[in-house]
Structure 1
Amino acid sequence: MRYFFLLLSALICLFVIEPALAQRPATYTTNNKKAIKAYEASENYLVRRQWEQVISLLEDAVARDGDFLEARVRLATAYRALGNQQRAVAHLEAAANPKKGSPAPEALFALGEMYWQLGRYQEAQEKLQAYLATNPRQKPLLAAANDMIKGTEFAIEQTKNPLPFDPKPLPDQINKYVLQYFPVLTVDGRTLIFTRREGLSPAYDEDIMAANLGDAGQWGEPYSLSDAINTQTNEGTSTISADGRTIIFTSCQGRRSYGSCDLFISTRTGNTWSEPLNLGANVNTREWESQPALSADGRTLYFVSTRPGGKGGMDIWVSQRTDDGKWTESQNLGAPVNTRGDEISPFIHANGRTLYFSSNGHLGMGGYDLYMAEQQENSWQEPRNLGYPINTNKDQVSLFVSADGTQGYYAHEEKQGDRLVSSKLFTFQLPPEAQVKNRSSYVTGRVYDAQTKKPLGADVQLFNLENQQMEQQVGADSQTGMYYMVLTEGAPYALYVSHPGYLFKSLSFDFGQGNNPKPVQLDVYLDPVKSGMITRLSNIFFDTDKHEIKPMSETELQRVVNFLDQNPEVRIEIAGHTDDVGNASYNQQLSEKRARAVYQWLVNAGVSAQRLRAKGYGQSQPQLPNTSEENRRQNRRIEFKIL
């Protein structure tokens, strides 16, 4: 909230101070000449922001006349600049409630704003309404007063119905530094990344730390993420892809940049992080870029920038990573997320559809509040305040939410007055009102050559079968074969694993709405492209006893077309299989019709009929005994075989 209230303080200074500097008022609220002399002498120190001298002179002035309202208001400004809210409030209360005469309008405004800052919402509302009753002419302050009154009304209602909120600090081995903040986790929740500073002064540099969750559920000791990333200067505010293999972080010194703080990227192969690279001119500018948030597959980046062209001082921007590894020109996220205020600390949930962020420009409890917005097609829904007491009158500036949407992580700052003394990492159970609409989990494992059993750095793609769109794309680690892919409820998915020279594997996951996804451990073995190799087409769908191909099968069929285009010498047999339910002759005919339907679709898509053969096997080649419905489902299938 400090940005918002400093802005209001600046407006107050413009309202109160500049007229005094340009042309002193004809009359003061005091006739005490020595008090007036002290007040006017404070002006020279005021313009140089020498607050101690300002306070010394003005305390003398109000000691001579306690109803010297101009001196009271200016004293409050000075005390606020030094972080002494208690003294600032005391002088504003005296100016807003003089023993004689009318209250100072500017004192009513400033006191209402400070009450709001302190969470004294009813009193804030009363003072701001009293300020409006003076018929002020300063449009910026008039607009700010009306906005704050709306905020107090919202806050009062929120406090009547508090959400369950019971935050717990992470263990001492994590919270071992003076400052630790901006926590993020990998999608499996087993690696925690955060920024730490070992002291309060700028002499202590920021580093990016990591900690691993052991099999017993205990966090291990934090360690420096990498010597390739951490230097003698500051590295901080990072984001990591779901698989923990791509990190983007902020660096403000020591690396070649475009101006102020820039964003850098590093990737991990095996256990080694690459030398960080600047994300380039499509992301970084001469202005300040920081607070990155990377989508689960590492292909969409949200971040904060002060560059021109936004809606406020700090806005959220977005860039996409193309197939060649370059980043597209950044676009302002626009309304309704960005406002004339500041939007900071974006976090895109693993589902890729829910954005959490902090803002002082939306209706809230005062200062920076946390919000969430859901993406629908190419637009964002109106952001929703996460509610009290997740949000309070204090600043809430960042939040990470687990893949299943139930657990939140954040940094809590401890202050003495306005002075930061420590920050620690906390976690809490998110109330249902603050949880994502679509929960996520993941499928993970390793990709191997089926014959040599050596790891493969395969390409892994996730397609939404309802809209036929690719939602994610990741690469398996070339050294270990390890991959992670996020699965989000709300649709049936096809997962494709491929590598040049190998048959692709297709997997099917039905995570329609209400199907709570669970973690899946699945190793994938790819067969080399050679005669006799068979792969199952897991995402070709027919209605019961029908042979017409359902539209959601087109993603799978197009993969077959792409495979044949990439391997022009290959000929394949399309094989249809059924379970043992019903007449064997009928099943034979059904399998032939289904194989023929796939054959015809491929021909219509441009594949030469000379490269295809369709054959039905009925119930004669079950993969599993037909002893259960699940086994029968596995036996009902379409395969293709290399001829």
Structure 2
Amino acid sequence: MFTRYFNVITLFACFYLVAPSYGQKPQKVAAEHFKNQNFQAAFPVYERLLQTDSLNTEYAVNAAKCLLNTNSDKTKVIPILKRLDKHGKATGESQFLLAKAYTFEYNFDMSSMILQKHQSIIPEDLKEEANRMLKNNSSAKILMQNPVNVSFENLGPKINSEYADYYPYVTANENALIFTSRRKKSGAVKEFDGYYNSDIYQVMNFDAEYPRVKNLGTSVNTNFDEQVVGLSRDGIEMMVYIDHVEEYGDIYLSHKSSSKYAPIQKLGVNVNSEELETSASFSNDRNTLFFASRREGGYGGLDLYMSRKLPDGTWGKSQNLGPDVNTDGDEDFPFLAQDDKLFFSSNGHPGMGGSDLNVTVWDPELNKWGKVLNLGFPINTPDNNRTISFNNDGSHAYVSMYRND
């Protein structure tokens, strides 16, 4: 299989220039950025502080968290935290983060050894994740012994930017590509986390020598955050997740008429609940909707549900896909491809670590699901692998990921 991918890039240096205010002590600058989850800005300040106080546990742990929460070379965490361990300054939390960092070096044995050795001091709120990491370390080694035959191609600077570009969805005929980006645009200002607000973009003339990236405009995008979280196979229906401060946590629909997507409309109460809904996908005939929700009655975090279209065009009562698909973790970003194969992201099924891409086959007549299979390495990595979108014959897939090439 041939996989095209978005090169998600984070540039630390460009964010260091925008400290909360000049004249503040570096410790306060770093703490303020870290509090606001502006990890891109916080890391270089912590890096500078560690140059003069390399055994400061707070600086080291926070610097590690910054790296682990951005699209960057996460193995840089290892020397920072090994230094604490060497000089007796390590904590249960730092050992947990060190173990996690080793997974990004694909050193799963070292990761497991650290977790097992320091199991008694790992904080209670991290023990569940530590146990999951141990299981993933074992499954990752097996997956790497049987790599998938796949090649990757970066879509290049005509489509990718220096900012975060993610959630790519392609139509079955590959004539259109829709994705989310937090790239800079006219009049935009950075949010508290150091990014510009997210907008939805479309690649025009996708297969041409000179493709053009176009913002979908004010019918879909605002000064707040919009993200594409699903696309019908013909590209007519687009699923959108918004974060508008006062309004968030639901799935919206935009219908394409001629060449323009209409203003988004909130899906009904059988899809959107009082809890969190994040993503959705249509069946090929657009009569069944698969979506992710954190509503009551599920198996854990986000679960996958389905809803069938009623004769009046509204969506019927939702149905949980059940324990063969859902786990006590998060299942998200369903994508129904040809042959009723449902692809989705999960951090509950065994994998490479983080969220992995999985597949199961749906029998629509019996409404049953086949065995969940991991898509394998190197499609999945120890990082979070969230979305995948296929062309009609399954020869090309589109993902967003951090890669050194």
Q: Please, what TM-score do these two structures have when normalized by structure 1?
A: 0.47
C-alpha change, 1:129 and 1:282, in structure 2 (3 Å) is same
Contact in 2 for aligned 1:237/1:290 (Cα 8 Å): no
C-alpha change, 1:151 and 1:286, in structure 2 (3 Å) is same
Show the counterpart of 1:512: none
Q: Distance in 1 between matches of 2:86 and 2:289?
A: 51
Show the counterpart of 2:234: 243
Contact in 1 for aligned 2:201/2:213 (Cα 8 Å): no
Show the counterpart of 1:388: 377
Q: Distance in 2 between matches of 1:139 and 1:158?
A: 29
Show the counterpart of 1:83: 67
C-alpha change, 1:106 and 1:403, in structure 2 (3 Å) is same
* 1:336 and 2:324 are equivalent in the alignment: yes
Alpha-carbon shift at residue 86 of structure 1 (Å): 6.8
Alpha-carbon shift at residue 178 of structure 1 (Å): 3.7
CA deviations 1:70-93 (Å, max 9, x no partner) are: x74x55433334438678544643
Q: Secondary structure at the match of 1:149?
A: helix
Q: Distance in 2 between matches of 1:167 and 1:130?
A: 37
| Larger relative contact order (Cα-Cα within 8 Å, sequence gap ≥ 6) | 2
Whichever of the two has the greater Rg, that structure is 1
Q: Secondary structure at the match of 2:286?
A: coil
The structure 2 residue matched to 1:162, chosen from 143, 147, 156, is 147
Show the counterpart of 1:403: 392
Q: Distance in 1 between matches of 2:96 and 2:263?
A: 52
Alpha-carbon shift at residue 232 of structure 1 (Å): 4.5
Contact in 2 for aligned 1:241/1:297 (Cα 8 Å): no
Query: Match for 2:150: what amino acid?
Result: F
Alpha-carbon shift at residue 167 of structure 1 (Å): 0.8
The structure 1 residue matched to 2:212, chosen from 212, 217, 221, is 221
Show the counterpart of 1:357: 344
Show the counterpart of 1:567: none
Contact in 1 for aligned 2:282/2:289 (Cα 8 Å): yes
CA deviations 1:374-409 (Å, max 9, x no partner) are: 223323223211111111222222111122122111
Query: Match for 2:349: what amino acid?
Result: H
- Give the length in aligned residue pairs: 353
C-alpha change, 1:117 and 1:287, in structure 2 (3 Å) is farther
* 1:366 and 2:353 are equivalent in the alignment: yes
Q: Distance in 2 between matches of 1:111 and 1:192?
A: 38
Identity %: 28
Contact in 2 for aligned 1:193/1:211 (Cα 8 Å): no
Show the counterpart of 1:207: 200
Higher deviation after alignment, 317-326 or 300-309: 300-309
Contact in 1 for aligned 2:50/2:60 (Cα 8 Å): no
CA deviations 1:535-568 (Å, max 9, x no partner) are: xxxxxxxxxxxxxxxxxxxxxxxxxxxxxxxxxx
**1:612-627 correspondence to structure 2 within 5 Å:** none
Show the counterpart of 1:282: 270
C-alpha change, 1:275 and 1:119, in structure 2 (3 Å) is same
Contact in 2 for aligned 1:75/1:91 (Cα 8 Å): no
C-alpha change, 1:81 and 1:245, in structure 2 (3 Å) is closer
Query: Match for 1:331: what amino acid?
Result: Q
Q: Distance in 2 between matches of 1:87 and 1:224?
A: 35
Contact in 1 for aligned 2:336/2:343 (Cα 8 Å): yes
Query: Match for 1:375: what amino acid?
Result: W
Query: Match for 1:382: what amino acid?
Result: K
Query: Match for 1:405: what amino acid?
Result: G
Contact in 1 for aligned 2:93/2:122 (Cα 8 Å): no
Structure 2 unmatched ranges of 5 or more:
1-30, 37-41, 69-73
Show the counterpart of 1:412: 401
The structure 1 residue matched to 2:313, chosen from 325, 337, 348, is 325
Q: Secondary structure at the match of 1:222?
A: strand
C-alpha change, 1:121 and 1:226, in structure 2 (3 Å) is same
Contact in 2 for aligned 1:79/1:87 (Cα 8 Å): no
Q: Distance in 1 between matches of 2:162 and 2:84?
A: 43
* 1:127 and 2:114 are equivalent in the alignment: yes
Contact in 2 for aligned 1:192/1:212 (Cα 8 Å): no
The structure 1 residue matched to 2:300, chosen from 304, 312, 317, is 312
Alpha-carbon shift at residue 206 of structure 1 (Å): 0.7
C-alpha change, 1:230 and 1:389, in structure 2 (3 Å) is same
Q: Secondary structure at the match of 1:167?
A: strand
Alpha-carbon shift at residue 138 of structure 1 (Å): 7.2
Q: Secondary structure at the match of 2:118?
A: helix
Q: Please, what TM-score do these two structures have when normalized by structure 2?
A: 0.71
Structure 1 unmatched ranges of 5 or more:
1-44, 416-425, 427-643
C-alpha change, 1:167 and 1:88, in structure 2 (3 Å) is closer
Q: Secondary structure at the match of 2:322?
A: coil
Alpha-carbon shift at residue 103 of structure 1 (Å): 8.4
Q: Distance in 2 between matches of 1:396 and 1:265?
A: 24
Show the counterpart of 2:135: 150
Contact in 1 for aligned 2:206/2:212 (Cα 8 Å): no
Alpha-carbon shift at residue 305 of structure 1 (Å): 3.0
Contact in 2 for aligned 1:242/1:297 (Cα 8 Å): no
C-alpha change, 1:93 and 1:326, in structure 2 (3 Å) is same
Alpha-carbon shift at residue 297 of structure 1 (Å): 1.9
C-alpha change, 1:334 and 1:96, in structure 2 (3 Å) is farther
Query: Match for 1:334: what amino acid?
Result: G
Superposition RMSD in Å: 4.1
Q: Distance in 2 between matches of 1:103 and 1:230?
A: 46
C-alpha change, 1:310 and 1:201, in structure 2 (3 Å) is farther
